[in-house]
Amino acid sequence: MGLDMMVERNTSDQEEREEEEEEKAAKNRYTKGVKHLLEIGISSVPKDYILPPQDRPRVTDKDLEHGSNFCLPVVDMARLRSLSAADRIQALEAVDKACKEYGFFQVVNHGMNEEGMRRMMAAGRRFFEQGFEERKKWMTSDIRGKVRYGTSFNQINDTVFCWRDFLKLNCQPLQEMLPLCPSSPKDLRDEVVSYVEEIQVLFLEIMAVVLEALGVRKEEALMEEFEEGSHMLIVNYFPPCPNPDLTLGMPPHSDYGFLTLLLQDDVAGLQVYHRDRWFTINPLFNSIVVNIGDHLEIFSNGRYKSVLHRVLVNSTKPRMSIASLHSLPFSSTVRPAAALIDDAGRGRLYKDTDFAAFLNYISSHDANRKSFLETRKLTPNGQRG
For helices 188-214 and 220-227, give the axis angle rounded to 10 degrees. 160
Considering beta carbons, is residue 165 or 255 the nearer one to Ni ion?
Answer: 255
Name the nearest CA neighbour of 210 among 99, 104, 323: 99
List the one residue from 309, 326, 370, 376 that touches ligand OGA (CB under 6 A).
Answer: 309
Q: Which residues pair with 325 in a beta bridge?
A: 232, 260
Amino acid at 311: V
Residue 250 binding ligand OGA, by CB under 6 A: yes
Residue 308 binding ligand OGA, by CB under 6 A: no
State how far the Cα of 161 lies from the Cα of 27, in Å rounded to an integer. 10
Shortest distance (Å) from residue 328 CB to Ni ion: 18
Positions touching Ni ion (CB under 5 A) are: 255
Burial letters 209-233, b for 16+ CB under 10 A, else e: bbbbbbebeeeeebeeebeebbbbb
Shortest distance (Å) from residue 218 CB to ligand OGA: 26
Residue 177 binding ligand OGA, by CB under 6 A: no
Please report the sign of the dihedral spanned by the C-alpha atoms of residue 59, residue 65, residue 70, residue 71: positive
Residue 314 binding ligand OGA, by CB under 6 A: no
- Considering only 5-13, 57-65, 103-111, 264-272, which stretch makes contact with ligand OGA by CB under 6 A? 264-272
- What single-letter DSSP state applies at residue 383? S
Residue 264 binding ligand OGA, by CB under 6 A: yes
- Considering only 49-57, 85-93, 182-190, 262-270, which stretch makes contact with ligand OGA by CB under 6 A? 262-270
Q: Exposed, middle or buried, 83 (CB in 10 Å: 0-12/13-18/19+)?
A: middle
The count of residues interacting with ligand OGA (CB under 6 A) is 12
Residue 251 binding ligand OGA, by CB under 6 A: no
Residues that bind ligand OGA in the complex, under the rule CB under 6 A: 234, 236, 250, 255, 262, 264, 269-270, 309, 311, 321, 323
